Amino acid sequence: MDFNVKKLASGAGVFFTRAVQFTEEKLGQAEKTELDPHLENLITRADSTKNWTEKILRQTEVLLQPNPMDHTGARIEEFIYDKLDKKLPSRMTNPELLGQYMLEAANDFGPGTPYGSTLITVGEYQKRLGGAERELLQTSAATFLTPLRNFLEGDWRTISKERRLMENRRLDLDICKARLKKAKQAEAKAAAAPDFQETRPRNYVLSASASAAEHELRVAQTEFDRQAEVTRLLLEGISSTHLNHLRCLQDFAEAQATYYAQCHHYMQELQRELNKCANAASTPHPTAAVCPDPVSSAFLSGPSSPGATVSSSSSQRPSTLAMEQTQLPVTGTRKAKVLYDYDAHDASELSLLADELITVHTVPGMDPDWLIGERGNQKGKVPVTYLELLS
């Protein structure tokens, strides 16, 4: 093993000298070379980019995986596979796991029973929701999380390394400036002494020392300028990083939009299935209506109504409206105010716009969760939970 004691000692000496210079600067006992204002702005911007990228990355991971240390040991598993440089195996999401439990429970209770058949229906849709969530996780990891993580673990490490090297070059430059200043002060003091002629050999040594200090200063200045330019070029690349992260952010938002659209579609289908189940259970055998209540349409319409919030009073509105609806005469009509936008799913339904007024009425044998709405010459079924019936 080649162990160079002189090189080690030299390195330790340089480190100690830099530490002394840095400490004296902090205490105000030594002069410090100020960086170019443009370079200072680039450093500030880079630090801000790094800090916010870390926060966004961590919070996005929390959003996509709220409970990383669950029974699956998700984060630990990801860490192990990442260190082994192997692909993480696909695992079930929480909705998929819930759907699986529902299907197993249905088999235990009896698929032919009302409760068992409804468990099968809801379980299948939970598995579909889980599949959509898994696609969101995979897409977000590939298009958003990975680029942010690559910046922090790749580009930023390079920038940090070059910045540390630039700071060392600056400390070396200021050390050389201090040495030259002391050498010139000593030379001037010796030249002003009364016994100048008698101390000429000593003055010659001081002059040579000042010349050597000037040479070291020129070398240190050249190295500092070169390293400052390298660091500046790397920091200016932060603008390209912002553009790349902008594209990644757009991809992430698109993945979220696709995911929520799929969830909305699945929940609407599930609502229709549960409506059919409720009607089938209540019509022939009123006492055997064991199917769960349909999912509230007001809940599904939440994202399409900006600023709308679901409160305890609004959560009770569907049942209140349903009671009002059952009190309507078969042939009577009344006005209704539309609460949320609604897009018709087929030709039998009527699309609605929030805050508009329409005329509604019932027909014999119609599903109590629906009314017949009229707007001019347009006519079709409308969900009662989207309406506020006016007296």
Domain topology for 31-266: Substrate Binding Domain Of Dnak; Chain:A; Domain 2 (1.20.1270)
pLDDT of residue 294: 42
pLDDT of residue 98: 94
| Residue 365: band (very low, low, confident or very high) from pLDDT cuts 50, 70, 90 | confident
Residues 97-133 pLDDT 10s: 999 999 999 999 998 888 999 999 999 999 999 999 9
pLDDT of residue 156: 95
Instruction: Please answer whether residues 339 and 387 qualify as being in contact, where contact means their C-beta atoms are separated by less than 8 angstroms.
Output: yes
pLDDT reading at 3 higher than 80 = no
In this prediction, residues 76-105 reach a mean pLDDT of 73
Return the minimum-mean-pLDDT range out of 117-126, 141-150, 193-202, 215-224: 193-202
pLDDT of residue 155: 93
Nearest to 89 by CA among 134, 139, 136: 134
pLDDT of residue 70: 47
Nearest to 121 by CA among 272, 263, 304, 14: 272
> Percent of the chain scored above 70 by pLDDT?
72
Across the chain, what does the average pLDDT equal?
78
Residues 238-286 pLDDT 10s: 999 999 999 999 999 999 999 999 999 999 999 988 887 777 665 554 4
Higher pLDDT, 297 or 10: 10
* Strongest mean pLDDT among 59-73, 216-230, 325-339, 362-376: 216-230
Nearest to 93 by CA among 145, 141, 131: 131
Q: How many CB atoms lie within 10 A of CB 346?
A: 7
Distance separating alpha carbons of residues 87 and 26, to the nearest angstrom: 49
State which CATH number among 3.40.50.360, 1.10.1060.10, 2.30.30.40, 3.40.50.12280 fits the domain covering 316-391. 2.30.30.40
Q: Report domain extents, the chain.
A: 31-266, 316-391
Distance separating alpha carbons of residues 101 and 107, to the nearest angstrom: 10
pLDDT of residue 202: 59
Q: Cα dist. 52→254, 348, 366 in Å?
A: 21, 50, 55
pLDDT of residue 10: 59
Q: Give me the half-sphere count of Cα atoms (radius 13 Å) on the Cβ side of residue 316.
A: 2
Instruction: Please answer whether residues 171 and 21 qualify as being in contact, where contact means their C-beta atoms are separated by less than 8 angstroms.
Output: yes
| Buried b or exposed e, range 308-329, using 16+ CB within 10 angstroms | eeeeeeeeebbeebeeebeeee
Q: Give me the half-sphere count of Cα atoms (radius 13 Å) on the Cβ side of residue 379.
A: 5
pLDDT of residue 7: 56
Residues 291-344 pLDDT 10s: 444 444 333 444 444 343 333 333 444 433 333 444 444 446 889 999 888 888
pLDDT of residue 362: 87
The DSSP bridge partners found for residue 374 are 359, 379
| Residue 289: band (very low, low, confident or very high) from pLDDT cuts 50, 70, 90 | very low
